[in-house]
Amino acid sequence: MNKYIFLFFSLIFSTFSVFSDQVDAIDYKNYKSPYYNFFVEIPAGTKEKWEVNKTNGKLEVQKNRKGKRIINFISYPGNYGFIHQTIADDGDPLDVIDLEPSAARGSTTPVNIIGGLYFKDKKEVDIKLIAINPTGSFQNIKNIDDLLYEHSSITEILKLWFLNYKKPGKMVFIKYLNKADSKDIIEQAHLKWRENFNTK
């Protein structure tokens, strides 16, 4: 009897440990819609650098020798985080910034990926996907061309912010990514996550 009780609780806790990771626990796609699931690490208008810990899967504030890591620039111009179940070229989930008012840290919401910004960071690819809440104030924006045409100042703000939030000259802007390119990048990153997850 005790053996079966032990096996029962072992199964529960082993399942919990697999799905406690914020990256892995939620599907990358919202299968009831054409949208992707976006996890908020850093709310719009804040400066503290938060990130999901790769070891324990918990969302934690980053720290340096001075304490909490706070960016030495103006606050994040949108909610910043990632798409679940993806791994980018740098080994982290795909970066996303959305254009809505501040959302709760640690929340997940379906978003429409309209395109992205293609940077080089120390000569390595660093892609920032741009997301729109399908029921938010920019719901009429369907792709990066719409955003460039109707709100070109927004893309300029995002581009300048990423070029300067670390230190000027560290990031180099290469090009804008359209919606189709961005979706291909997401699917490739999800495939990479699946390959990695299956080896855990």
Return the pLDDT at 112. Answer: 97
Residue 58 domain boundaries: 2-197
pLDDT value of position 123 = 83
**Cα 43 to chain center, whole Å?**
12
- The pTM score is 0.86
Token duo for residue 46: 């804040």
Specify which residues 125 forms β-bridges with: 120
- What does the pLDDT look like over 29-85, one tens digit per residue? 988 889 999 999 999 999 999 998 888 888 998 888 888 889 999 999 999 999 999
The predicted pLDDT at position 5 comes to 39
- For residue 100 the two structure tokens come to 């809505």
pLDDT at 199: 62
User: d(Cα 132, Cα 11) in Å, to the nearest integer?
Assistant: 39
pLDDT in tens, 116-134: 999 999 889 999 999 999 9
Least confident of 17-21, 38-42, 73-77, 142-146: 17-21
Comparing C-alpha atoms, which of 118, 120, 113 is closest to residue 86? 113
Query: Rg of the Cα trace of the chain?
Result: 18
CATH number at residue 158: 3.90.80.10
Query: For 52-56, 90-94, 188-192, which range has the lowest pLDDT when averaged over its residues?
Result: 52-56
Report the domain count for the chain.
Answer: 1
